[in-house]
Homo-oligomer: A and B are copies of this chain.
Amino acid sequence: MRGLVRQGALTPEDKALLLGLELETRRVSASEVLWYEDTDADLFCVLKEGWAYSYRHLENGSKQILKLYLPGDIIGLRDFGFSRRLAGVAMINEGVVCPFSYQQLLELFGRSALAVGLMATAVRQQALLTERLVYLGRHDAQERLAHFLYELYLRLKRIGAVEDNSFLMPLSQEQIGDALGLSPVHVSRTFSMLRDDGLVTRDRQQITLPDPEALAQLVEFDDNYINESLPTDLSVLSIASLAVDNRKEPGVHSTVDK
């Protein structure tokens, strides 16, 4: 940071913005909750003293800590681009924080909707990661697989790749295991359980979810982290796609591996 300042990397705009911030620090006590899961996301903080953590409470009564924040860390970038908090944050010991509003962050990105969108996209990917972390930490094989399939179902539906609650899934069970932290053998067993419960049917790579809602309930899926369309729901990709679709060309193959 001093780095940044020294390097003179800050533009006049940056400097103006920084000076314009009304900075205020707040002393917070041990165990104090900075914000709860699912509340309005409006600000983030720099943690100046003390330790904090972000967490998710699960319906089965357990909780998963997602990230520890140490002095100097920024808390709350995770929720940028979402309207509600994906996780709560609480102090561990007493400390000091310095809050900023997302509004200020937006001004920082200033004129570029693309930059905002990219940031939001990155944050969104982080949300998916986070969700998987929760499942690896606190759920058994059946819940992990159910969650995995349901997430896939939602993401594919979003891009129109689901028909009749059914979609193609080109992953081997070994790869699924590598994603969920399970052995391929157990993935197979788990598929059988889900089939026996009538939640998933499968023929080769064709997956069908006879009753997606039932699955959703099993995995307490909060789909707003996938479906929420934020103000700037861009996806540069699509822009890129548009621009490109005109002049197609078969490309170059490079490496392969197995």
Contacts and interface: CB of A to CB of B under 8 A. Distances in A.
Interface of A: 1-5, 9-11, 13-14, 17-19, 21, 23-33, 46-51, 53, 55, 62-68, 70-74, 77-78, 80, 90, 92-96, 98, 100, 105, 108-115, 117-119, 121-123, 125-126, 128-130, 132-133, 136-138, 152, 155-156, 159, 161, 170-171, 175, 178-181, 229, 232-244, 248-258
30 contacts: A1-B235, A1-B238, A4-B234, A10-B113, A10-B114, A11-B111, A11-B113, A14-B114, A24-B244, A24-B249, A27-B251, A46-B241, A64-B181, A66-B129, A70-B155, A70-B159, A72-B235, A77-B122, A77-B125, A78-B125, A92-B170, A92-B175, A95-B255, A98-B237, A98-B241, A112-B115, A119-B122, A126-B129, A129-B129, A137-B180
B27 A71 contact: no
B126 A236 contact: no
Contacts of A258: 30-31, 93
B255 A72 contact: no
B113 A9 contact: yes
Nearest to A171: B92
Nearest to A148: B68
A19 B159 CA distance: 25
Contact of A253 (B28, B129, B136, B237): B28
Contacts of A109: 109, 112, 115
Nearest to A2: B238
A85 to B, nearest CB: 14
Contacts of A136: 133, 136-137, 181
